[in-house]
Each structure stands twice: as C-alpha cells, then as structure tokens.
Chain A
Amino acid sequence: MAGGDRALSPAGTVRRGAAGGAEARDRHVRLGLGLAASLLLAGLLGGAFLVLLLTSDAVPDPLAVLADPYLRAVTGFTLLQAGLSALLSVAGGVPLGLALHRTRFAGRALVLRLLLLPQVLPVLVGALGIVAVWGFNGLVSDALAALGLARINVYGLAGILLAHAFFNLPLVARMVVGALDGVPAERWKLAGQLGLGRLATFRIVEAPALRAVLPGAFGLVFMLCATSFTLVLVLGGGPAASTLQVAIYKALSLDFAAGNAVALCLVQVSLTALVLLALSRLPGREAGGFTLGAAPRRYDRPSRLASAADTAVLFLGLLFVGAPFAAILLGGLGSDLGPLLANPAVHRATLTSLVVGLCAASLAVLLSLALLAAGRERPGSAFEIGPSLVLVVPPVVVGAGWFLVLRQVTDVYAAAPYVVVATNAAMSVPFVTRIVGPALAAAHAGQDRLARSLGLFGLARWRLVDWPAARRPLTLAFAFAFALSLGDLGAIALFGSPDFQTLPFLLYQRLGSYRSTDGEGLALLLGVVCLALMLLAERGAAPSVRRPLA
C-alpha cells in the first residue's frame, strides 16, 4: 500500500482513512504558519515605510532624488566600497581557503573556528580591533614609523576596506574550504594516484569547485558590505566616505530631515533589491560558510616551494584575522575592568542585551521554521524567497521607518524594546533559514515518502523526522541569531535612550564621549560573550563524524 491516505479495512477493501485528513490538516497548518510569519515580516519591514509614504508630506520627488549630487555621491561610494571590499575579501579568502584545505596541521579545526568568529563578533568591537592594529597609533603604524615610513590613516575608504576584509575574508575562506570539502573523495584519490601536480590539481579538481561557489561568495560579500552600517559609521562617516545607511542615520539623528531619510531609504532599498536579484542568479549563493563537512583526505605531494607558499599564506591570513582579536583582548585586559564590571549601567546594558538577544533569537527561529515549513509545501514561493528579501531592508532602514511613524502617534522610546527585538529577529531570519534549511530539506528528500506512507504528520513528523535532522543546525542558528542581536547597533542606534541601552549602544556612547578605556573593556566583555556563545554552539552543532569501514 503506497499512500498514507489509504488504509485496508478489516475486510481487506481500501478506504480513505484518517491519514488523508491528517495530511491535509498538516499542509494547512504549515501554510498558515508560513503566511503568518510572512505577514509579520512584511509588516515589520515594509509596513512603517508604506504608512509613511501614504501619509507623510515628506515623500520625495523621484527626479529630485536622482538629481541630488549628495545622494549620488553617497550611492556611488556605497557601491564602490562594497565592490572593492568584495574583491579584496575574495582575493584574500581564496588563497587562504586553498592553503587551509591543502595543509593538514594540528589545530586546523581551531583555525577554522577562528575564521567563523568575525561573522559573530559585534561589528563595533571588530572596528575597535581594526583601529588598534591598523590605526594611526596602532601596531602597524608603529612598525612603519620605526622604519621611517608614514603612519596609516585608517579613517576613510582604506579603513572601511580593511575592516570589511577582516569580517568577510574569513567567510570567503570558509566557503572555499566548504566547496573543496564537497569534492568527492574519489577525485582526491585519483589526483593522488595519477600524481597530479599543484597546477594540474588546481586546474582539474580545485578550480571547478571554486567556480561553483565564488560568484555567490562575491555577491554575498558585496551585499553585506553594501548594507554595512556600523563600520562605515565608525571608520568613515565623513562626507567623502559615507554610505546610504550612515546617511540615513545622520539625516534622522543629526539633521532631523525626514524627507531626506525617506529618499535615502528608497534608494537603499532599490539598490539592495537589485543586488539581491543579481545575487539570486549567481551560483554558490547557498553556501553560507557556517558549517563545514568532514574534510576529505588529500593525497597530493606538493613541492617544498608549494608547501612553503601555503604556510606563508596561512601565517599571513591568520595574522590578519587574529591580530584584531588579540588587540581587543589586550586592550580589554589593560582597561579598568573591575570598576567597569561593577558599574550599574553596564549591568543594565548587559541584562538588556541578553533579554533582547534571547527574545530576538527565539522569534527569529520561530519565524524561520514557519517559513521553512511552508516553503516545503510551496517550493519556489514567497515562503522560500521571503527570508532573502529581508536583506533588502537593512536594520537602519527598518528602524528609520518605524522611528518616523511612531513619533507621530506615540512616544518612540516607549516602543523601542519591541521594535529592536523584532528588527533584530527579522535580520537574523535569512541566516537562520540558510543554516537550518539544508538540513530540513535533506530530511524531507530522504524521508518524506516514508513518513507519508506511515501516516506521520504534524508533531509526530517533527519529532521523528525534522527534529533529529535540524537539532544541531538549530542550535547553531539560535546562537548565531543571539550573537547577531547582541552585537547589533543598527536598530538600537535610533531607539536607544538612557532608559534602554544595550551593550553596543553603551559602547558607542562611551567611545563618543572619548572614554576609550571603558570602550575597550566593554568591547572585551561583548566580544567574549558573543564568541563563547558561538564556540559552544558550533561545537554542539558539529556533526559527529563516524566513518565506517566499507
């Protein structure tokens, strides 16, 4: 008997049974949950803006917007820095990823974990690390000065590119390692047995794997950098080095120019939508670099020169990524940590951050699961595309929209916790679906027919089919969403107040009031919390590798 919607009656005849109803009910529940999640996301992301466009007199004239030289300059700089940042990240990430895959050494797994850390390090904390290493008074400048060379000015395009490379080069490297891990083990065996040299192995085995992932990696980094806010706020910010998001923030927080903010938001959303559309047509976008498979063994015999080159690339790459972490650690330990940790404002901000993070991560996971469940019923529908559309509307734009709407009807700051939690949750949805989606899809592909034939639906199916497959990725996704929320400055930047402060907001304030020692201590605290969270989650999410003998 093939389907779960039929059962043999005692007399042996086939009758339509309870399983058919359960399957239909299950489908309706999935679609209902997906619809509710979609409406919630759409309302949060677009609702405020729609209301604003319909009711406000601040709606800009499109032609005037396009003709505005400031806006064109800001848009141009947004694209320029995103393009250069993506190029730099790919140019550095590919050799690093190749070297990591080619080289086996003690601590390799630890290095791969280190490369995950910039993805969850609060951006503001990372920016401080970059300044400590590359800034005018940083380690590199000190070394250059000792050699009689000019110090580096990290503020402006150069600093933004360096910081974006710090955050995204490791992501590209992990995507490269992931792509090479996906090459069937037989091909590495053949390459070894046929005695393929370094160039032939690259051409025949490695390059095809890279070709499948690099366009998507470039697009992803471009997207992340085009919507980058905190780094540009801290390291750029001047008229010559300002992106759309920073311009939106400044239009609202400094100039109180709602009309300009709306115009900038429209340009930002149009731009990111175009980038996302282009990105969706590139191969390799599925690879997120979050999880890595079991690394297959390679049998190449590189020359000494090739091995030395790989070692040099590894050393430089790890130095580039590791130095800001070391600077954060040393700076934090050198700060007055005791009084800082006893400060009631820090306690309040920490508690607020944890509560906001917990709520945002929980909401993000629930929304993502609802969208994934519905997407399974309607492949290729808005349920599947929706999570990516979230990236079209960056947190600053969402915050700006709600800020402009809420101030017309209520006390903006009273609604702040809800807006911040909801915005942070929404921003995590693309990442949560990217981490959890493949596991659920694999479980569906492998066990859907079995589950349906056994009449497993609803919670029973979740418990026996989905949960075992999604448990580990969900742990990682929850921690990732938690860490993203803990480190976010985008939503809180507009809604923060003396009564509602998160750790990044407090850190930004302390830095703004030139209390840099406090800043270093807070950066260490925030960084340690996020990194510990991710390391624990990544360890818990790592698949237990058992390779039976064949």
Chain B
Amino acid sequence: MSGEAIRFEGATRRLDGFEAVFDLSVAAGTWLGIIGPSGAGKSTLLDMAAGFSDLDAGRVAMFGADMAGIAPADRPLAMVFQENNLFPGLDAFRNAALGLTPRLRLSAAERAEVADMLERVGLADKAGRRPHELSGGERGRVALARAFLSRRPILALDEPFAALGPALRAEMLALLADLRVSGSGEGTPRTILMVTHHPEDAVAHADRIAFVENGRVALEGPAHTLLSQRNDARLDRYLGPGRGET
C-alpha cells in the first residue's frame, strides 16, 4: 500500500439541525469497514466522498487532489448502493457496460471486457436478463461488475449486501475480496470504503474499521483489534453485550 487514497479534513455537512464533521485518512489499497448506529452519518460520509453531498466546510481530497467542485462522474470513486443499483430498462450486460462508457455503444474490445467481467462474477449466462429477472444476489454481482469495470481506484459500498441472507452475503464478500485484487489489473488492490451493519463482516474482510457516531468518526483502527477495545462506552452501546466475540 502506498500513499493516501482519500482524506476528509473537517468535512462538514449540516442538515435539519444535525451536523456531521469528518476527519479521516484512508491509505491506498485499504479496505475500510465503516460501522455505527443508524443515523450516525455513515452514508453521509460516503456521499461526501462521492460528491453527492455538498460540503458546508472542510474538504475531501483523493490521491492528494482537492475534490471541491469536482462532479461525481469525474471523481476516482465508484459507488454501489444497497438497492436500485441497476437501471430497470437495461439488461445485465448493458448495466455492467455503463461502468466502461456512458454511451452504450461499445467497441468489440469493450464488449469482450464486459463479457469477461460478467463471467468472473458468474453471470455469463444471464447477461441478457433485465434486473427484475435476476435475484438479489445476481443484481449485486452486476453492480460489482460495473464498479470494477469502471477502473476507479476507490469503491464506496453503502450496505450493498444488507438485504441478502448470511450465506449469500458471505459469498458476495468473498467475490468482492477476490475482485478487489484480481480485478484491479495493475496489482494494487482497490481502496474500499464499506458501510455495514454487520461488524463481523468488517472484522473478517476489512483491514481497518471506522466507528461513526453522531456525525463523527469516533474510533478508527485495525479491524482485528478495534472491536475488542474494552474501554469505550460508545462501542459498548453499539455492539451490546458479548462484543469482541465477532
């Protein structure tokens, strides 16, 4: 891992009397799990990074460049949401292909690249299906395929597998872990910011974990040690009894 992928410096967003102020630095190639109670500001953190939320103060920088005034399409970040990740009028192939080009007219090489990515996510035989003809897990695979096809070095995942059962969720996380390395071409793994309500997923896959509470990054540290800290009342409240056993 070398360099810094993303930095939040007093990045502030105020809405309806709530203020979120984030200071956070994520090294390139890091998988950061973001956990915290509902309404703490986790999705707002990702929206700030993606350019979907205007900052009231502070700044967000990616690979050293200030993102102020940079449109979502021009940021080195691809986002996957919990739902509505696919356009219902397009089949799986075209939904994935949007990661390569917004024009929907593909060269032969681009078509081959999309087909290859769909094969890697296990959907080679379902490329012609519309979103409503796919299962929840398959829709998630298409969204991941698109995100990796976009070649953007940072992936922001906003509870992308929350609606899936435990086995399917584990399967998708394994796929993500595989693509993160193998789908990155040059060998440097993608930087991942993943919001999750499952701390055990973060422990199992993330390098580091950020605990967000009340619009702030309250704690941040290595995934395997952060959740076993026994001296933080905020974590206690969030994790409940038996924490650290995840």
Closest chain B residue to A301 by CB distance?
B71
The residue of chain B having its C-beta at the shortest distance from the C-beta of A197 within the complex is B102
**Alpha-carbon gap, A184 to B87, bound state (A):** 10
CB contacts (< 8 Å) of A513 on chain B: these are none
| B44 lies within 8 A of chain A by Cβ | yes
Once the chains bind, are B90 and A548 in contact (CB under 8 Å)? no
Give the residues in chain A near B33, CB-CB below 8 Å: none
Q: Is B108 an interface residue (CB 8 A)?
A: no
CA A546 to CA B16, docked complex, whole Å:
7
How far is it, in angstroms, between the C-alpha of A181 and the C-alpha of B81 when the chains are bound?
A: 19
What A residues does B102 contact at CB under 8 A? 194-197, 200
Query: Across the interface, do A550 and B39 meet the contact criterion of CB distance under 8 Å?
Result: yes
**A304 → B minimal CB distance (Å):** 15
Does B89 lie at the interface of the complex (its beta carbon under 8 Å from any beta carbon of A)?
yes
User: What's the nearest-Cβ distance from chain B to residue A213, in Å?
Assistant: 15
B20 A549 Cβ-Cβ under 8 A: yes
**Distance between Cα atoms of A186 and B50 in the complex (Å):** 12
Option from A190, A207, A548 in Cβ contact (under 8 Å) with B39: A548
B residues within 8 A CB of A190?
79, 81, 85, 87, 98
Could you tell me the distance in whole angstroms from the C-beta of B216 to the nearest C-beta in chain A? 12
Q: State A203–B94 Cα separation when bound (angstroms).
A: 13
- Determine if B13 is an interface residue (Cβ-Cβ < 8 Å): yes
Interface residues of B in 83-121 (CB under 8 A from A): 83-85, 87-90, 98-99, 102-104
Given A299-B51, A549-B15, A549-B44, check contact A189 B98 (CB 8 Å): no
- Closest CB-CB distance, A104 to chain B, in whole Å? 12
Contacts of A549 in B (CB 8 A): 13, 15, 18, 20, 39-41, 43-44, 215
Contact across chains for A299 and B52 when beta carbons are under 8 A apart: yes
B90 and A192 contact, CB distance less than 8 A: no
- Most chain A CB inside 10 Å of its own CB: which residue of B71, B77, B90, B215: B71
A285 CA to B74 CA, complexed, in Å: 39
Residues of A with C-beta under 8 A to B74? 195
Please give, as numbers and ranges, the residues of chain B lying within 8 Å of A186 by CB-CB distance. 81, 83-85
Most chain-B Cβ atoms within 10 A of its Cβ — which of A195, A297, A299, A550? A550
Chain A contacts with B in 219-269, Cβ cutoff 8 A = none
- A15 interface residue (CB < 8 Å to B): no
Contact with B along A162-194 (1 / 0, CB 8 A): 000000000000000000000011110110111
B73 lies within 8 A of chain A by Cβ: yes
B78 interface hit (Cβ, 8 Å): yes
Give Cα A244–Cα B74 distance, bound, in whole angstroms: 59
Docked CA distance A549–B212 (Å): 12
Chain B interface helix/strand/loop/mixed: loop
In the bound complex, what is the Cα–Cα distance between A205 and B104 (angstroms)?
14
Q: Is B42 an interface residue (CB 8 A)?
A: yes
Contact among A187, A200, A205, A299 with B71 in the assembled complex (CB-CB below 8 Å) = A299
CA of A207 to CA of B18, assembled, Å: 36
Chain B residues near A193 (CB-CB < 8 A):
50-51, 72-73, 75, 77-79
User: A550–B16 Cα gap in the complex (Å)?
Assistant: 12
B20 near A200 with CB under 8 A, answer no
Residue on B with the closest CB to A204?
B87
Contacts of B50 on A, CB cut-off 8 Å? 189, 193
Rounded to whole Å, the gap between the CB of A504 and the closest CB of chain B is 44
The answer to whether the Cβ of A208 comes within 8 Å of any Cβ in the partner chain is: yes
**Distance between Cα atoms of A59 and B163 in the complex (Å):** 65
CB distance from A76 to the nearest CB of B (A): 38
Contact B84 A187 (CB under 8 A): yes
- The distance in angstroms between the C-alpha atoms of A269 and B38, with both chains bound, is 56
Q: Nearest B residue to A550 by beta-carbon distance?
A: B43
Determine the chain B residues whose CB is within 8 A of the CB of A546 once the complex forms.
Answer: 16
Decide yes or no: A204 and B89 within 8 Å by CB, A194-B99, A549-B15 being known contacts. Answer: yes
Q: Which residues of A have CB within 8 Å of B71?
A: 192, 299, 301
Encode B196-218 as 1/0 by CB contact (under 8 A) with A.
00000000000000000001000
Partner of A192, one of B15, B73, B89: B73
Residue of A nearest to B150 (CB): A194
Q: A205 touching B72 by the CB < 8 A rule?
A: no
Nearest CB of chain B from residue A187's CB, rounded to whole Å: 6
User: Closest Cβ of chain B: how far from A545's Cβ, in Å?
Assistant: 9
Nearest-CB residue, chain B, relative to A189: B52
What is the minimal beta-carbon distance from A255 to any residue of chain B, in angstroms? 55
* Residue in contact with B84 in the complex, picked from A184, A194, A204, CB distance below 8 Å: A184
Closest B residue by C-beta to A545: B16
Determine how close the nearest CB of chain A comes to the CB of B48; give it in whole angstroms. Answer: 11
Report chain A residues within 8 Å CB of B78. 193
Q: Would you give the 0/1 interface string for A514-550, flagging 1 where the beta carbon is closer than 8 Å to chain B?
A: 0000000000000000000000000000000011111
Knowing A194-B73, A195-B102, A200-B102, the reply to whether A547 touches B15 (Cβ < 8 A) is yes
Evaluate contact between B44 and A550: CB separation under 8 angstroms.
yes
Complex: chain B residue closest to A187, CB-CB: B84
Chain B: minimal CB distance from A543 (Å): 14
In the complex, what residues of A have CB within 8 A of residue B83's CB? 184, 186
Specify which of B13, B18, B79 is in contact with A548 (CB 8 Å cutoff): B18
Measured CB to CB, the nearest residue on chain A to B158 is: A550
Q: Name which residue of chain B comes closest to A192, CB basis.
A: B72
CB closest chain-A residue, reference B99: A194
Contact B72 A299 (CB under 8 A): yes
> With A and B bound together, what is the CA distance between A301 and B102 in angstroms?
13
Question: Which A residue sits closest to B73, measured CB to CB?
Answer: A195
Bound Cα distance from A363 to B90, whole angstroms? 48
Residues of chain A within 8 A of B41, CB atoms compared: 549-550
Give A185's nearest chain B residue, CB to CB. Answer: B84
Nearest CB in chain B: distance from A201 CB, A: 9
CB distance from A434 to the nearest CB of B (A): 26
Q: How far is the CA of A549 from the CA of B78 in the complex (A)?
A: 21
Q: Is the Cβ of B73 less than 8 Å from the Cβ of A301? A: yes
Given A193-B50, A549-B15, 10 other A-B residues pairs in contact with their CB atoms under 8 A: A186-B85, A189-B79, A190-B85, A194-B99, A195-B102, A205-B87, A297-B52, A299-B73, A550-B41, A550-B43
Shortest Cβ-Cβ A-B pairs, 4 listed: A195-B73, A550-B43, A186-B84, A184-B84
**Can you give 12 contacting A-B residue pairs, CB < 8 Å?**
A186-B81, A189-B52, A192-B51, A192-B71, A194-B99, A196-B102, A200-B102, A297-B52, A547-B15, A548-B15, A549-B15, A549-B43
A-side residues, CB < 8 A to B, are 184-187, 189-190, 192-197, 200, 203-205, 207-208, 297, 299, 301, 546-550
